[in-house]
Amino acid sequence: MIETISEHASFGGKQGFYRHLSHVIGLPMKFSVYVPPLAPVPTEGKTEKVPVLFFLAGLTATEETFAIKAGAQKFAAAHGVMIVCPDTSPRGTGIDDATTDWDFGEGAGFYLDATQAPWSKYFRMETYIVNELREIICASFPADQNRIGIFGHSMGGHGALTLALKHRDIYKSVSAFAPIAAPMQCAWGQKAFPRYLGNDESTWGNHDASQLMQGLKTPYPLGIRVDQGLNDQFLAAQLLPQAFEAACLTADQPLTFERHAGYDHGYYFVASFVEKHISFHADNLNSFES
């Protein structure tokens, strides 16, 4: 059962914030949904289903961050696209040290299913997003299950790329803002992966977009889009987009990679280019049959 926290008219559509008890996580989870204005269908009481984008936010963010800061509703309304934003992790887990560090634990779920105790009890974000939340959205909102895309920022960019590459039957388009592109090679990933997944590094590659891409052949023929600010304070040490570029080249994967002078890692950057991402997804998703 979905509990409505609040709903707000926005550009002819509706921005809503919701809560439900997740059976996958075992705790209440929050998410937000923007539903664009819908064209009526000539059958009684029905409206058309629209393409849906899942946006995955970054470290410390919540289900509200993108909805409040990105200014995406105007463009989602214009393109007739729904946007769903899950929280970035379970909350209120009661796990020791779950809220000690800003880059690990609550607020930093890395969009994977943890295999190591105590994290494995609640931190099952991949299964939650790919299965449970997607099914809830398709059942409770006018979302077209055949036209689903995914994008994200920073840790969420990492999640968008890895989930898309592993679940290409579900996600028909993918893009990212300043993604953690090679977490096995950066401090954020090297801190999170052993605690979530264990010390066997052979298991980590399934959650590293650059590693996943190397084993594929043109997984997204319509292309992948990545935008990166050149004044991003995390670019050199944590994001490592050059690894993903090289992997795409090896995999013959079309990649639109735009670098932007003067832009940092925050939501002023995301808001500046979110229209391009929504347009990219709308074009791709509308090429598939409803």
97 included as an active-site residue = no
Burial 39-68 (b: 16+ CB within 10 A, else e): eeeeeeeeeebbbbbbbbbbbebbbbbbbe
Pairwise CA distance, residues 177 & 157, whole Å:
6
Query: Could you tell me if 65 and 72 are in contact, meaning their C-beta atoms sit under 8 angstroms apart?
Result: no
Catalytic annotation present for 232: yes
CB atoms within 10 A of CB 242: 13
Among the options 32, 175, 232, 277, which is catalytic? Answer: 232
The pair phi, psi for residue 144, each rounded to 5°, is -85, 110
d(CA 176, CA 281): 11
Catalytic residue selected from 22, 89, 154, 210 = 154
154 annotated active-site: yes
Residue 111 falls in which region: left (phi positive, over 0), alpha (psi -120 to 50) or beta: left
Token pair belonging to 253: 């994967």
Instruction: Say what the alpha-carbon torsion angle 238, 33, 270, 37 is, to the nearest 10 degrees.
Output: 150
Exactly one of 153, 265, 277, 281 is catalytic; which is it? 265
Residues noted as catalytic: 154, 232, 265
